[in-house]
Structure 1
Amino acid sequence: MTIQETIKSGFGSWTSQIKEDLKVEKGCGDDADGRQWSNQDLDPTPPHQRTWQWYNYLLYFVGTGFNNWQGGSSVIGVGLGWKTAIAIAFIVQSISGIVQAANSQASSRYHLGFPAIARMVYGMWGSSYQVAIRSILAAVWYATKIFEGASYLDIMMRCVFGSSYMNIPNGVPESVGYTTRGFLCYFLLWMVYTPFLFRRPYQLRNLFTMSCVASFPSVIGLFIYCIASSKGQLGLDENVGTERTSGSSTAWLVVYTMSSSISNGAAYIESVPDVARWAAKPTAVIPPTLFCNMLWNPMSAVLGILGTSALQSKTGMTLWKPWDIMSYILDNNWNSGVRFGVFLMSFCWTFLTFSQNISSNMIPFGADVSMLWPKHLTMTRGYIVVHFLAWCICPWKIYVSATTFLDFMGAYGIFMGPAVSIMLVEYYLISRGNIFVRSLYIGNSSNPNYWYYRGWNVQAYVAYVAAVGLCMIGFVNKVGAMVPAAGERIGYLGWFLSFFTGGIVYYLVNLVYPHPNAKSTKGLKWEERVQEEEVIHSVDVSDESVEGEAYVNVGNKALKPVFEQY
């Protein structure tokens, strides 16, 4: 086959997949009331797409998690010393890893994404709120990560074109908070994402593997420069007296940074089922998750902390954003060798941010909207929606300062914390690992398990409202309102307070007044339903010997579920 034929064949295959992915296929939903409750992206992942092994998850978590320079260095930016910042990084990452691993169990066992798991916990209608909240956050982070990547691209352009690029006149008003150069890079990188809108998660393993490779030169290279430039000297391990610390003790500042830091990954803690569903084996997810989050990925934050502290010692400035450090390097070392090295480093950072954005934001948003409107939106259509929404969000406003960055991360943590803890309590303590998969697609009162009260799990929302309401005064403070000192400190607790409150209240409410499905799982052993739900196998659609069976269409395959228990 000639090169021309190969390209033509590949392009034809790609266009065929685009047409297939854009098409909405009816899933196993019950639309007796005129509403479709599923499509090919909400149905359980078919066996031929469960291709991720433990090493795929290991490479994935290394590649997407070893990019936490800002999460650690921003702690220096608000006034804490490097030793305290390192301790915070390991504590927060360990807690995050444990919760994330626990939240992946249900999905890796039943091969369901977050929207389907949410239906099990919050009800057929009640899950829509949780999914909508997560989709909004995913959209915000998607735009934010494009902004980060555009900042690295700006460094690359400067390295290549020099003063001719730097002297591009700025026609954007100062009040916007961005520049003509910035918008140019934002648009160019935004265009790079376009081909990847038409790839499914199970087809992106190689991308995440390359991200793992790129993470090492990007993070370690920047760290080496920072340490070498200060000759190993680090900033003082004490509070540096920022405005935030003037009215609060160091202890409360530590609590604030811990809560904000874990909120940085709160959306992904909740989103991990969207990746865990592709596991070839249930055991493929949890060990890599724990290893990377508790031991490996915190090192990225540590390198960011030490690098920022080293430059702080040398310059007296707190340069906590990697692209600012690269700009500093170019400002002080403008020669061809340095420009080439910074170009390679910024390229790696661009690619690392690019792959992380796809995995942590684009894929979850696509999964979410496919549930919110399954009759009209697939994951691919959702990718397109969030891609255009990136222009409606102004991510450059978020990175004004380290304080603004941490406030942004911490403010929404109160909404994500109880959502996850309620899911964990439901799966581990109340349902004991048992999910009635067929009931996740019946959207009326005939649903024997997850209709709850008119489609809402009232007990779950009692706990959720209690947790969010308790922390709301802190949220109001973080978005600009003046509150008493006690209210501000409640805001410092953020994710931790809402997480534990939501889980505890939900468990206690169910002890007193259990929800309707509690009776269905009361006599079941731990994950007893898994084996029954696994009686789903691929069959050839054209096989006439299976005529008359109930099918669920997924892509080009047909699944034949066994639902005799219903």
Structure 2
Amino acid sequence: MQTAPNIPKDGIPENVIGVTSVLSNTDLEIVWGNHELEKDIEPTSRWKRILKTLEVSHGTKPISVLRNPDLEPVSTKERTWGFFSFFAYWGLPNFAVATYSTGSALLALNLNIQQSIGALVIANVLIATVTVLNSNPGIRFHIGYTLTQRMIFGIYGSFVGIMFRVGLSVVIYGYQSWLGGLCVNMIFDSFSGNYLNMTNTFPESVPMAKKDLIGFLCFQLIQMPFAFVRPSRVNTPSIAACFMTMFSIIGMLAYLVQANGGPGPLYYQKVDLSSDQRSWMWLFAITIWYSGVAPAVANQSDYSRFASGETSCYLGLFLGTVLPGTFVSLAGMLCASACKELYGTAFWTPTEIVEQWLTTDYSSKARAAAFFIGISFTASQMFLNLTQNGYACGMDLAGIFPRFVDITRGTLFVQLISWVVQPWKFFNTSSSFLTAMGSFGMFVTPIVTLNIIEFYWIRRGKITLIDFFTLSKKGAYWYTLGINWRSMVCLVIGVALGIPGLIYQCYPELEANAAMVNYYFGYMFFIPIVTGVPYLVLTYLFPVHHEKLQMVDPVDFYNCFSDKELANLGMQPGNNSSEDLYEYLDAKLPDSLADVPEIVQEKKAVSGA
């Protein structure tokens, strides 16, 4: 920081005039305050020197307790995701083992295949619509989920929304890794008949097989190097993985239906539900499907910020949600139905089907099919897990510990800690986890609802970026002591009302309250009401009064907007060099606001004129 500029006789520092003609007094205070927050202070003790060496690499960019390069709005050169990138991002959770086997859960509700597909089509259209609405902070202002939590809950309150998703990311990462390990075993089974028939050497008390542990370990090791790849760079391999898996599923479906001479008995199965029961089961089917992708809906801004254009993003995510989400589930049900007639058992996962083929005839044809199917599902499983759990957790942990955690370190953390959840118990014991998975959306749906209301209704689609990185009480997201208590209250309401229904599902021996169970069955529809309506009422009764509400920054502080975007937002361009704008303004700002003459501090911002 330079020393205070010389004050001419008229009282206005010459090199401050250009800045204060654009920045308001509040902007000036925040800019200067962020300077202080981000100062690179030389450590004076051994402990501080150790901490200094542990800081994330940030080049010439500043870091603070609120900021590091991974949290900043994405620059134009990094926004390279087009239609197929977003189609693949939403294709990944659909071209995956969990979606392929979704039919088993839906048919267990006493719905037939036709009714299940009808519920899925409705669910996918609703999910795609909500995702489009939730993606706009990323598309228009190029920020991720972590910063939107500061907008919703406040600078300090954001830790609640962030920790919700960190917890989900760790658990689901372990779950998806175990499924990925089963996919790796399809490849290994195609290599060796001895591996296919490997006997378990673990005691009966250990709820896993030896080959399952090998597959899980190998899958974890395969994923680990991708922690060092920028999330914006995995779009191309994700596209390849999606299309490989699509061809594998088409091949499996064509072979099984042709070999069986039709879709099998499950396709023609009759159901006997009353109209009232059928309505609630449709709602529950929609909710089950939504819950599997709810975390991806919530963190859509993490990836929509990489969009090269709005239309390609909207179209890609809409079609990537609706088309694969319907086709893969239908294919899984038809394959299971054909298997029931062919092999006497309805196989709901590709790993079971491949194992049946290899066990029946370990021929070169069967081995080639097993290898290609295994490679395809392993790839889709890996990039699904990385984008929606690994990188997501890294982004969130970077928001909690910006000085010491970036996306790479956070991703490595979740890769290592995911072992703790012991995902093998989810599949090989009577654990209620798979039942509880239907509730995951219950924890993020209030956040999605609040985000949409806050962005469109409260802020009218306009937010300030510099306020995300300040501890100033004049910041737009400071609220009350750094917490937006209105959104906190509504979050608690939305989650708490679903807890009884979750308990009844996990413990069916309990005497259930019908109203609570029905609320749980349809929480995708009910949570937005019980969260959104109170939030609108509270913001009406206790409105947020802030001078920067429904405004954008007067200057592109982070060089993240194109010329067209700057013109549409009425924003001044920032420093076009690689130098950070704070450093650029350093020559134009005094050491403290006290050094700015009164006549300058009172000068109106051009943007507010």
TM range (shorter): 0.7 to 0.9
Residue deviations 1:133-178 (CA, integer Å, cap 9, x gap) = 111111222112211111011122122110x214544233333321
Q: CA deviation at 1:368?
A: 0.6
State how 1:548-563 maps to structure 2 within 5 Å. Answer: 548=586
Identity %: 22
The residue aligned with 1:279 is 307
The residue aligned with 2:178 is 147
Q: CA RMSD in A?
A: 3.3
Matched, 1:51 2:89: no
Relative to structure 1, the CA distance from residue 516 to residue 403 in structure 2 (aligned partners, 3 Å threshold; closer, same or farther) is farther
- CA separation in 1, counterparts of 2:260 and 2:429? 23
Relative to structure 1, the CA distance from residue 550 to residue 309 in structure 2 (aligned partners, 3 Å threshold; closer, same or farther) is farther
- CA separation in 1, counterparts of 2:541 and 2:79? 40
Q: CA deviation at 1:522?
A: 8.8
Relative to structure 1, the CA distance from residue 157 to residue 339 in structure 2 (aligned partners, 3 Å threshold; closer, same or farther) is same
Residue deviations 1:206-255 (CA, integer Å, cap 9, x gap) = 212221331222221222233223211331555679xxx99x94443332
Worse-matched range after superposition: 191-200 or 276-285: 276-285
Gaps of 5+ in 2: 1-52, 554-564, 590-604
- Name the SS of the counterpart of 1:391 in structure 2: helix
- Name the SS of the counterpart of 2:302 in structure 1: helix
- CA separation in 2, counterparts of 1:80 and 1:316? 21
- CA separation in 1, counterparts of 2:575 and 2:361? 61
- CA separation in 2, counterparts of 1:94 and 1:111? 25
Q: Is the 8 A contact 1:104 1:285 kept in 2?
A: no
- Name the SS of the counterpart of 1:392 in structure 2: helix
The residue aligned with 1:5 is none
Worse-matched range after superposition: 204-213 or 109-118: 204-213
Worse-matched range after superposition: 457-466 or 258-267: 457-466
- Name the SS of the counterpart of 2:549 in structure 1: helix
The residue aligned with 1:7 is none
The residue aligned with 1:109 is 140
Relative to structure 1, the CA distance from residue 169 to residue 338 in structure 2 (aligned partners, 3 Å threshold; closer, same or farther) is closer
Q: CA deviation at 1:274?
A: 0.7
Q: CA deviation at 1:286?
A: 1.1
Q: Is the 8 A contact 2:56 2:403 kept in 1?
A: no
Q: Is the 8 A contact 2:159 2:400 kept in 1?
A: yes
- CA separation in 1, counterparts of 2:61 and 2:455? 24
Matched, 1:410 2:444: no
Q: Is the 8 A contact 1:221 1:345 kept in 2?
A: no
Q: Is the 8 A contact 1:49 1:202 kept in 2?
A: yes
The residue aligned with 2:228 is 198
- CA separation in 2, counterparts of 1:386 and 1:403? 22
Q: CA deviation at 1:291?
A: 2.0
In the alignment, which of 105, 111, 115 is matched to residue 80 of structure 1? 111
The structure with the larger Rg is 2
What is the TM-score with the length of structure 1 in the denominator? 0.84
In the alignment, which of 158, 162, 184 is matched to residue 189 of structure 2? 158
Q: CA deviation at 1:357?
A: 1.3
- CA separation in 1, counterparts of 2:384 and 2:220? 14
- CA separation in 2, counterparts of 1:422 and 1:210? 35
State how 1:413-562 maps to structure 2 within 5 Å. Answer: 413-447=441-475, 449-480=476-507, 482-486=510-514, 487-517=516-546, 520-521=549-550, 531-532=569-570, 535-536=573-574, 538-541=576-579, 548=586
- CA separation in 1, counterparts of 2:361 and 2:568? 60
Worse-matched range after superposition: 355-364 or 368-377: 355-364
Worse-matched range after superposition: 184-193 or 287-296: 287-296
- CA separation in 2, counterparts of 1:499 and 1:239? 34
Matched, 1:312 2:340: yes
The residue aligned with 1:374 is 402
Q: CA deviation at 1:564?
A: 8.4
State how 1:232-381 maps to structure 2 within 5 Å. Answer: 232-234=262-264, 235-238=266-269, 249-381=277-409
Residue deviations 1:388-433 (CA, integer Å, cap 9, x gap) = 0121122223335999675232122211111101110111111110
Q: CA deviation at 1:300?
A: 1.5
The residue aligned with 1:94 is 125
Q: Match of 1:96, as an amino acid?
A: I
Q: CA deviation at 1:535?
A: 3.1
- Name the SS of the counterpart of 1:135 in structure 2: helix
Q: Is the 8 A contact 1:414 1:499 kept in 2?
A: no
Q: Is the 8 A contact 2:81 2:306 kept in 1?
A: yes
In the alignment, which of 179, 186, 203 is matched to residue 173 of structure 1? 203
Residue deviations 1:276-306 (CA, integer Å, cap 9, x gap) = 1112233331121112223343212221122
The residue aligned with 2:412 is 384
In the alignment, which of 54, 57, 64 is matched to residue 23 of structure 1? 57
Q: Match of 1:264, as an amino acid?
A: G
Relative to structure 1, the CA distance from residue 82 to residue 63 in structure 2 (aligned partners, 3 Å threshold; closer, same or farther) is same
- CA separation in 1, counterparts of 2:315 and 2:507? 41
Q: CA deviation at 1:129?
A: 0.8
- CA separation in 2, counterparts of 1:94 and 1:539? 43
- CA separation in 2, counterparts of 1:317 and 1:167? 20
Q: CA deviation at 1:460?
A: 0.8
Q: Is the 8 A contact 2:187 2:370 kept in 1?
A: yes
Q: Is the 8 A contact 1:52 1:278 kept in 2?
A: yes
- CA separation in 1, counterparts of 2:568 and 2:449? 22
- CA separation in 2, counterparts of 1:396 and 1:444? 47
- Name the SS of the counterpart of 2:420 in structure 1: coil
Aligned pair count? 523
Worse-matched range after superposition: 491-500 or 85-94: 491-500
- Name the SS of the counterpart of 2:498 in structure 1: helix
- Name the SS of the counterpart of 1:262 in structure 2: helix
- CA separation in 1, counterparts of 2:60 and 2:400? 14
